[in-house]
């Protein structure tokens, strides 16, 4: 509690929970658009793109250098391999009419795993880069090229036109 007579300056940087809510809302908005969702699923299946990492790269409002993005890529890959990927593989095996309730439960678990992946990436990114008061322009195309070199340039450009600006 501040001493009487002295006021505390408000923190210009939102807490992790507020940033995560902003990211998750952005991801939900992107995912809600059927054509954008289809594009992301194509990127995932045809080009091995980590959808959560791609959404995070397009959304993240602070500058990161290539080494930081590589570190985030490693973090995301580890989580995808150890958690989300396993859950997704199970869900895909359960996709039969007689297992609908179990399929839905595993789908919900996969979504929670994706949320945890996003939260983990955000915490890691914030730890790597201190907050700045400067206004910076984020090059979303460059970020996607760094993270997913196998993703064709036309796919990136077309996809970025579909994504809302964060």
Residue 2 lies in a domain: no
**pTM score of the predicted model:** 0.83
What pLDDT does 14 receive? 57
Q: Rounded CA gap, 143 and 61, in Å? A: 12
Residue 20 lies in a domain: no
For the chain, how many structural domains are there in total?
Answer: 1
φ, ψ for residue 130 (rounded to 5)?
A: -65, 150
Residue 126 lies in a domain: yes
Residue 68 lies in a domain: yes
Element (H, E) at 24: helix 16-32
pLDDT bin (cut points 50, 70, 90) of residue 128 is confident
Residue 39 lies in a domain: no
What pLDDT does 1 receive? 35
Sign of the alpha-carbon torsion through 158, 30, 23, 43 = negative
pLDDT bin (cut points 50, 70, 90) of residue 13 is low
What is the arithmetic mean of pLDDT over 134-157? Answer: 91
Residue 36 lies in a domain: no
Residue 59 lies in a domain: yes
Residue 132 has pLDDT above 70, yes or no: no
Q: Is 81 exposed, middle or buried (0-12, 13-18, 19+ CB in 10 A)?
A: exposed
Full residue range of the structural domain in which residue 101 is found? 50-130+139-166
Residue 6 lies in a domain: no
Q: Rounded CA gap, 146 and 88, in Å? A: 25
């Amino acid at each position: 509690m501040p001493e009487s007579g002295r006021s505390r300056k408000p923190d210009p940087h939102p807490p992790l929970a507020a940033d995560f809510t902003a990211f998750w809302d952005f991801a939900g908005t992107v995912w809600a658009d059927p054509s954008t969702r289809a594009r992301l699923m194509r990127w995932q299946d045809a080009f091995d793109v980590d959808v959560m990492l791609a959404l995070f790269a397009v959304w993240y409002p602070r500058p990161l250098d290539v080494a930081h993005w590589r570190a985030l890529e490693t973090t995301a890959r580890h989580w995808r391999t150890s958690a989300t990927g396993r859950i997704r593989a199970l869900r895909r095996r359960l996709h039969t009419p007689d297992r609908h309730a179990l399929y839905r439960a595993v789908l919900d678990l996969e979504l929670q795993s994706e949320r945890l992946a996003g939260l983990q990436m955000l915490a890691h990114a914030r730890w790597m880069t201190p907050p700045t008061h400067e206004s910076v322009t984020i090059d979303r195309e460059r970020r996607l090229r760094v993270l997913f070199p196998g993703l064709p340039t036309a796919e990136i450009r077309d996809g970025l036109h579909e994504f809302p600006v964060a």
